[in-house]
Structure 1
Amino acid sequence: MRSTRRTLLACLAAVATLVSVSACGGGGSGSSGSSAGSGTYTFWDPYPQFDASSDWGRRVARCGTEAGVTVKRTGYDTTDLGNKALLAAQQGNAPDVMLVDNPVVSTLVEAGILNKTSDLGLDTSAMQQNIIGAGTLNGASYGVPIGANTLAIYYNKKILTASGVDPASVKDWASLTAALKKVAAAGKKGITFSAINTEEGSFQFLPWFWGAGADLTDLDSAQAVAALTLWKQWVDAGYAPKDVLQNTQTTSWQEFATGEYAFAENGTWQLANAEKAGFEYGVVGIPGQHGGAAPVPTGGEFVTVPVQQDTARYDVSKKIVTCLTSSENLLASDTALTYVAPTAAVQARQVAANPKLRPWVEAVAAARGRTSGGLGTKYPVISQPLWTAVQSALSGGSSPKDALATAQTAAGKAKG
C-alpha cells in the first residue's frame, strides 16, 4: 500500500508538469458502486467551457441514455483533471469514464488506475497507429482517442506576395530561412512561435528537434543542437521576435493575427480564429531539416475507463466509450473541437466537408505522441530540461550546445 501511495504521489508531480497545449477544459465525483446496469455513471473531461446545453454536453448525455444510464458529467481544467484522477483513485472513487489529455495517460497507467482497452473488449483497430500510440504502453492501449490536433505553419498571403515568397517553396529549413530573409528585406516581420518555459515551449520546439532527426533520450546530440541553433539564428537575425521567450501559443497567435507577421507556428485549434483574422491565410507543414514533413507532436484526448472495485460497471462504461468514439460522433465532436479524427474514414469525410483541413490531416499523419516510443512517464522529466535549454539559448545565457548538454545532464539525474 505504501508503494502504491508513493507511485500516486510521484504521478501527481508528473501531471503537474504536463500542461494542456491546445486549450481544453473537464470534473465530477467518483462512482458510488451502485447497480451496474442502471443509475448514474460519472464522466470527467477537460472541457469546462462546455456546459450541459452544449453540443458536447448533449452528446455525452445521449451516450449515457443509449447505454441505459444517466451520465453525471463534470469538466475540469486539464492539469486539475489529472491530479483529481490520481487522488480519486487513491480514495477509491474514480469516475466511470474519463477523457484525458494524451500525455497524462502514461502517468495514470503507471499509477495503476486505467484499464487496457483489450481487457474491456474495446475495438481500436480502425484508429490511426501514430495517434493511438500516444496512449499505448508496452504494446497495450489504455484508451480510445477522440481525435488529434497538432502544429503547422500559418502564413499571411499578402505579406508573402509582397515579399516575393511562394509558400510552395518552403520545403526545408534552408528555404524557410530564405523566405524569412526576403520578408525582412521587404520590411515585414518574419515568424512567431512559443518558446515559453512550460510544456508549450517544448511542444512547439519538438517539430524542429524531431525534424533534425534528434531523439528525446539524447538531448545534446548534434541534431538537437542544429534545431536549437536554427531558432537562435532566427531570433538573433530578427526574423523571430525576442518575445517568443514569453509567448504562449495564444499570445503568439495574437501577434500573427495583427497581420504584421508572415508566418506563425501554431495549432489546428486556431483555424476558427484564422477565419476571423481579416486577411487571407494559408497553411504549410513544418518541414524537416533536409525536406519532407517534420514529425509533429500530437495533442488531443483519450476516452479511458478507470479501474473500479465493482467490475460489473465496465459493461456500461464500454457502451459509453463505444458511443462517443463511433464514426458519427467522432465526426461531430472533431468538427466542433477542430480536431483531426483518429480514423482514415472520418478524416476523409472531414476534408470533403472542409478542404482547409487537408494540410492538418497530412500533419497528423506525420505526428507522434510525446510519450510514445517507450518514454511514458519519463517524458515530463525530459521536457522540462528541454524547454529550459531553449530559454537559455534564445536569451543568450548559453550556447545551444552548452544549454542542451546541461539539459541532458538534468534529464539523466531526474530519471535516475
Structure 2
Amino acid sequence: MKKVSVFVIIFMFIFALAGCSNSNGDEADNGVKTSDKPSDSNTADATEVQTENSLEGLTLTVGRWGGNDAETAAFQQMVDEFTASTGVEVQEKVYSDYNTELQAELIGGTAPDVFYVDAYMAPFYIQQGVLLPLDEDEFELDQFYEPLKNAFNKDGNYYAISKDYSTLALYYNKKWVNEDDVPATLEEIWNGEFLTNLQSQLSDGAAAMTYNQDLARNMFYAESGGISVIRDDIYSNLSDAQLVNNLTPLYDAAIAKKIVTPQDLGFGWNGDAFGNEKTALMIEGNWVLGFLEQNFPDVEFGVVETPTFSGEKGTMVFTVGYGINANTKEEAAAKVFIKFATGTKGMATWTTGAGVLPSRMDVTEATNVESDPLKVPHIAGAAYATPWQKGTTMDTINNEYRNYAPSVVSGERTLDEALKKAEDEANSIIEAN
C-alpha cells in the first residue's frame, strides 16, 4: 500500500506539471454520435484501408507478464497473425515484477503502447489517468460477458478490454463424492450434515473441505444482499452488521473444523491439497485444471458451479484486459491491435493455445469450449460473477481481513470483533496515506 501511495503522489505531481492529458483526442473520439458511426461492415472496411495506408511498417510495444510455455506460444502465434494481417510489428516487453516495473515506466515515459491491465489494478490506473478510454461499440463490448466488460468501467467509460478470465467453481473428488449428493447451497454445505458425513469416510489427516481466508475468494457472499466491503469509495466497511451476518456461516463451519485452510493441512494452496487427496472438496479457479491433469492424472474429479448463497448464484471472476497508454504515439495501431487480440480471430488463437477461457460469448461458442464438462461450470459463472476489483484501497482492506480472520477460528475473537478490528486497522492506514 505504501508503494502504491508513493506512485499516486508521483503521478499526480508529474501529470499536473506535464499537463499531458489526452482529453482533446478522447472528446473527439467519444463525441461521435452513434447515428454518425459507420455500420459494422463499413467499420471493418475503413480499418483495413487505414491499416494499408498508414499503419503498415509501424512498431507497437505491448507489455505483459510472463507465462507458461503454452501461453508464450499462443501469444506469439496471435501476434504473428496480427502482423500478417496488418503489417504492424509487435515488440514485447515482458515483466517479472509487473505492476512495480510498469508504474516506473509510466512515470518515466517509457511504458508500452499497450499493456495488460489486471481488473484488480484497473481503478488505480484509471484514477491516475494513464489509460485511454475505449469506445464500447468500436470494441464490440456487446459480445463480452457483462461482468468482464464492467470490470474495466468507470463512470460509463471503458479503459481496457478483457482478453480472458477465470471464475471459481466447486471441485469434488469422485472417490468420496457423487455430484448428485453435493448440496445446492453453501449454507447447507457449511452448516448441514454433509461435511460431517463426508469427514467420516476420509483417512486421518484429510479434511472434507478447504477454504481461504481471503476476500478474493469470500467477497461474493460477503457482499450478498447489496452490502459493500468498502464505504465512501475508500474506507473499510467490514464491521457492517449485514456483512458480518453474511460471513457467519463460513466461520461457524471453520470454528467447528468442518472446513480448514490448505495451510492447516501442510499445503501452500488448494490445488496441492486436493491433488494429494487430503481434501475432498475445494472452491477453486479453472487455472487448477491443467495443474491437476499434469501433476495428478490419477485423481478423478468433477466440477460444478459454486453453490448458491442467500438464494442467489454467485462466484468470483478474475480477468485481465488490454489497455492503451494515454501517452502513446501510436494510438491508431494500438486500437487495431486490441481489436484484433480481443476480436474473434485473435481471442480464439490466444485462448485455445493458452487453455484459458474466452471473454467473448461468440468465441466461447465458436471454439466449442463448452464441450469440456470441467469448464462448463466456470463458463456459466461468467454471466453472474463478482469481479475481483473494488477501488484503490482493497490491498489494505484485504490484508487486515486476512490478518484478523485466523483469530476467529482460534477463538481469540468473535467474528464481529475481528472484523471491527480489521476495519479500524485498515482505515487507520488509509487515513495515514
Same fold (TM over 0.5): yes
Distance in 2 of aligned mates of 1:126 and 1:119: 10
Please say if 1:293 is aligned against 2:310: no
Distance in 1 of aligned mates of 2:381 and 2:328: 41
Q: Using the TM superposition, give the Cα deviation of residue 344 of structure 1 relative to its aligned residue in structure 2, in angstroms.
A: 1.9
Correspondent of 2:301 among 267, 270, 281: 281
Please say if 1:193 is aligned against 2:207: no
Between stretches 82-91 and 330-339, larger displacement belongs to 330-339
Correspondent of 1:253 among 265, 271, 288: 271
Tell me if structure 1 keeps the 8 A contact 2:166–2:285.
Answer: yes
| Structure 1 unpaired stretches of 5+ | 11-34, 196-200
Please list the CA deviations of residues 153-194 of structure 1 after superposition, one character each: whole Å capped at 9, or x if unmatched: 100111125xxx844433341245432111123345211133
Correspondent of 2:183 among 169, 179, 182: 169
| Structure 2 unpaired stretches of 5+ | 1-5, 14-53, 231-236
Between stretches 337-346 and 43-52, larger displacement belongs to 43-52
Q: Using the TM superposition, give the Cα deviation of residue 121 of structure 1 relative to its aligned residue in structure 2, in angstroms.
A: 4.7
Correspondent of 1:340 among 343, 347, 357: 357
Decide whether aligned partners of structure 1 residues 50 and 100 sit closer, same or farther in structure 2, where only a CA change above 3 A counts: farther
Matches within 5 A, 1:200-239: 201-211=214-224, 214-217=227-230, 218-239=237-258
Residue in structure 2 matched with residue 268 of structure 1 by the alignment: 286
Distance in 2 of aligned mates of 1:352 and 1:170: 22
Matches within 5 A, 1:380-399: 380-399=395-414
Tell me if structure 2 keeps the 8 A contact 1:45–1:98.
Answer: yes
Correspondent of 1:324 among 341, 350, 355: 341
SS at match of 1:146: strand
Distance in 1 of aligned mates of 2:287 and 2:7: 37
Correspondent of 2:173 among 156, 161, 164: 156
Correspondent of 2:143 among 123, 126, 139: 126
Please list the CA deviations of residues 247-280 of structure 1 after superposition, one character each: whole Å capped at 9, or x if unmatched: 88x6221011112322012111111233353122
SS at match of 1:204: helix
Q: Using the TM superposition, give the Cα deviation of residue 219 of structure 1 relative to its aligned residue in structure 2, in angstroms.
A: 1.2
* Aligned partner letter, 1:252: N
Distance in 1 of aligned mates of 2:166 and 2:61: 26
Decide whether aligned partners of structure 1 residues 213 and 359 sit closer, same or farther in structure 2, where only a CA change above 3 A counts: same
SS at match of 2:68: coil
Q: Using the TM superposition, give the Cα deviation of residue 414 of structure 1 relative to its aligned residue in structure 2, in angstroms.
A: 4.1
Q: Using the TM superposition, give the Cα deviation of residue 112 of structure 1 relative to its aligned residue in structure 2, in angstroms.
A: 1.4
Between stretches 135-144 and 401-410, larger displacement belongs to 401-410
Decide whether aligned partners of structure 1 residues 290 and 46 sit closer, same or farther in structure 2, where only a CA change above 3 A counts: same
Larger Rg: 2
Q: Using the TM superposition, give the Cα deviation of residue 316 of structure 1 relative to its aligned residue in structure 2, in angstroms.
A: 0.8
Distance in 2 of aligned mates of 1:279 and 1:334: 25
Tell me if structure 1 keeps the 8 A contact 2:190–2:249.
Answer: no
Decide whether aligned partners of structure 1 residues 271 and 51 sit closer, same or farther in structure 2, where only a CA change above 3 A counts: closer
Distance in 2 of aligned mates of 1:52 and 1:130: 24
* Aligned partner letter, 2:116: L
Correspondent of 1:57 among 76, 79, 96: 76
Q: Using the TM superposition, give the Cα deviation of residue 302 of structure 1 relative to its aligned residue in structure 2, in angstroms.
A: 0.4
Residue in structure 1 matched with residue 103 of structure 2 by the alignment: 86
Distance in 2 of aligned mates of 1:41 and 1:113: 17
TM-score (norm 2): 0.77
TM-score (norm 1): 0.80
* Aligned partner letter, 1:380: D
Please list the CA deviations of residues 298-349 of structure 1 after superposition, one character each: whole Å capped at 9, or x if unmatched: 2121011112253xx1111111111111113223322344433222222234
Please list the CA deviations of residues 43-68 of structure 1 after superposition, one character each: whole Å capped at 9, or x if unmatched: 11123434997122231243244332
Q: Percent identity?
A: 19
Distance in 1 of aligned mates of 2:264 and 2:84: 48
* Aligned partner letter, 1:215: S
Residue in structure 2 matched with residue 18 of structure 1 by the alignment: none
Tell me if structure 2 keeps the 8 A contact 1:153–1:263.
Answer: yes
Distance in 2 of aligned mates of 1:378 and 1:138: 18
Q: Using the TM superposition, give the Cα deviation of residue 107 of structure 1 relative to its aligned residue in structure 2, in angstroms.
A: 1.1
Please list the CA deviations of residues 355-379 of structure 1 after superposition, one character each: whole Å capped at 9, or x if unmatched: 33211111222212233xxx42133
SS at match of 2:87: coil
Distance in 2 of aligned mates of 1:301 and 1:281: 28
Distance in 2 of aligned mates of 1:251 and 1:4: 31
Correspondent of 1:104 among 92, 111, 121: 121
Decide whether aligned partners of structure 1 residues 386 and 337 sit closer, same or farther in structure 2, where only a CA change above 3 A counts: farther
Please list the CA deviations of residues 99-125 of structure 1 after superposition, one character each: whole Å capped at 9, or x if unmatched: 222111221111211100129954423
